[in-house]
Amino acid sequence: MHEFMSWVASPDSIGLNLIIALAMLVVGWAVSDVLGAGVRKAAARSSRIDPTIVPIVRSIVVWTIRGFTLIAVLARFGVQTASIIAVLGAAGLAIGLALQGTLQNIAAGIMLLALRPLRAGEYVSVVGKADGTVEEVGLFLTHFRQSDGIQITLPNSLVWGNPIVNYSRNATRRLDFQVGVRYGDDLDLAVETLRGLIGHHKLALPEPKPQVMVNEYRDSTVMINIRVWAQSSDYWDLNFDLYQSARKALEDVGLHLPIPVREVRTLTSGGQGA
């Protein structure tokens, strides 16, 4: 109590402490920003650092420095930092119990970074929640960018708690593509034409060997399935190109687009069909 009264009674000390405390805050915040930016630059220069972990590492570095800065400022005013840490620990426990969902997001974020089911730059589907390219896995939220440019943000617990389909992790993907041929056309010719198309396509991989096979009969149409492997980065280019080139290749050899046929019967007044 005596120390407190003597501190209050000294306006010069108050002013000096305020100036020093303000300077410490400014320097501490500036240092945290500089080191946070340094973490990002170091990660950008090194190919060995996974960009997925950079946001969380940056946040930890920045807020660790700021936390020590705040404790140092309190110590400057004579506050017992050990007591402050104990109070913060108790408050943290109470807040943690009240914010269990938030803590689940932090835990889920740690698991996402530890097990790596997705990484920044990969195209994934969180089944039932979102599809898009991973931009950032943060401490609480994961950010995705859809193919149409719209950004989607999900809590980490939703990402971790649902099936994740990663379309970019493997180097190659298999494309299954169907083409219809009408009944009466030469199936052998159609199959050989499509095999030639795939065999000379620059985006189709020779291994595993492409397959062209009849696999389904529909009304007025025989379906031929093309099964071919491509680099993951070329998957959609190959898919869209086949929509144009497969149909054109069949037409060039005299095979035409199937036309649905329906048999319509009418009843005459005598009840006989015509």
CA distance 204 to 74: 66
What is the residue extent of each domain of the chain? 10-98, 117-166, 172-252
5 confidence band (pLDDT: 50, 70, 90): very low
**Residue 263: burial class (beta carbons within 10 Å; 0-12, 13-18, 19+):** exposed
Q: What is the length of the chain?
A: 274
Q: Note the CATH architecture for domain 10-98.
A: Orthogonal Bundle (1.10)
Q: DSSP label at 232? A: G
Flag whether pLDDT at 268 surpasses 80: no
The CATH code belonging to domain 172-252 is 3.30.70.100
Using DSSP's 3-state secondary structure scheme, residue 224 falls into strand
Which tokens is 101 given? 């969902």
**Is the fold of 117-166 the same as that of 172-252?**
no
User: What's the rounded mean pLDDT across residues 24-48?
Assistant: 78
Flag whether pLDDT at 106 surpasses 50: yes
Element (H, E) at 148: none
Which tokens is 175 given? 């494309």
Lowest mean pLDDT among 89-93, 138-142, 195-199, 227-231: 89-93
Lowest mean pLDDT among 45-59, 84-98, 123-137, 208-222: 84-98
pLDDT tens sequence across 182-237: 888 889 999 999 999 999 999 999 999 999 999 888 888 899 999 999 999 999 99
Flag whether pLDDT at 15 surpasses 50: yes
The whole-model pTM stands at 0.61
Domain 117-166 has CATH 1.10.287.130: no
